Amino acid sequence: MLALQGAFARHVAAIERCGAEAFEVRTAGQLDRGDALVLPGGESTTMLKLLATFELVEPLRKLLADGLPVFGTCAGMILLAADVTDGRDDQISFGAIDLDVRRNGYGRQVDSFETDLRVAAIGEPALRAVFIRAPLVERAGPEVEVLASHDDVPVLCRSGSVLTSSFHPELVDDDRLHRYFLDELVGR
């Protein structure tokens, strides 16, 4: 669990409820200990600054290129995308999934909302999704599998060992997406 900033503690709890071990990552040495990584929601600009401060950018880039299973939610989606609109001039994106996203594409904090999503990969009932200053997917590449959409816009995407969501699955009492990540991408 990348634990530099954001909602990482809620993700740790969800992973552990699914029966897997989770630990917080703050150094490059800790990155090598895990079989997978979650990049939580939070503030992507702050996360990028902290990734640079703690010298995690290049080690993380290498692990992603080597196929480390990763689940990026909200800000994590921004960090994993191929291209980011409305980012800072020095915006870094790891290009781990062929998505173009717009930071805060659903609006400001006051525009946050919740909705129910149908996700065939996890079955019924619908998944409650919490969108907070969420990224908007503007383009999904041909290798990207769209697992859920809201108003015809992809909000849950998978490509190989990378899973991303525009929303915060850790903020609801439904661990099915975390379980999907562990079972389908990590292969536990």
Task: Give the span between the Cα atoms of 69 and 46, in whole angstroms.
Answer: 23
Residue 40 has pLDDT above 90, yes or no: yes
Sheet harboring 145-150: ordered strands across? Answer: 37-39, 70-73, 162-165, 153-159, 145-150
Active site residue 74: yes
Report angle CA 134, 140, 142 to the nearest 5 degrees. Answer: 160
Q: Quick one: 8-186 is in which CATH superfamily?
A: Class I glutamine amidotransferase (GATase) domain (3.40.50.880)
The active-site residue out of 11, 157, 170, 178 is 170
Q: Which helix (H) or strand (E) holds 28?
A: helix 28-31
Domain-wise residue ranges, the chain: 8-186
Say whether 170 is catalytic: yes
Catalytic residue, chosen from 11, 74, 150, 178, is: 74
Q: Which pLDDT tens digit goes with each residue over 102-126?
A: 998 998 888 899 999 999 999 999 9
Confidence band, pLDDT 50/70/90 cuts, at residue 163? very high
Report whether 145 contacts 120 (CB < 8 A): no
**114-148 burial by CB neighbour count: b if 16+ within 10 A, else e?**
eeebebeebeeeebebbbbbbbbbbebeeebeebb
pLDDT at 183: 97
Is 18 among the catalytic positions? no
Residue 31: CB atoms within 10 Å: 17
The reply to whether omega before 125 is within 30° of 0 (cis) is yes
The catalytically annotated residue of 11, 150, 168, 178 is 168
Angle subtended at Cα 134 by Cα 110 and Cα 108, rounded to the nearest 5 degrees: 25
pLDDT digits (tens, 9 = 90+) for 68-98: 999 999 999 999 999 999 877 777 889 999 9
Is the predicted pLDDT of residue 188 greater than 80, yes or no? no
Q: What is the pLDDT of residue 86?
A: 84
Q: pLDDT above 70 covers what percent of the chain?
A: 100
Q: Is 108 left (phi over 0), alpha (psi -120 to 50) or beta?
A: beta
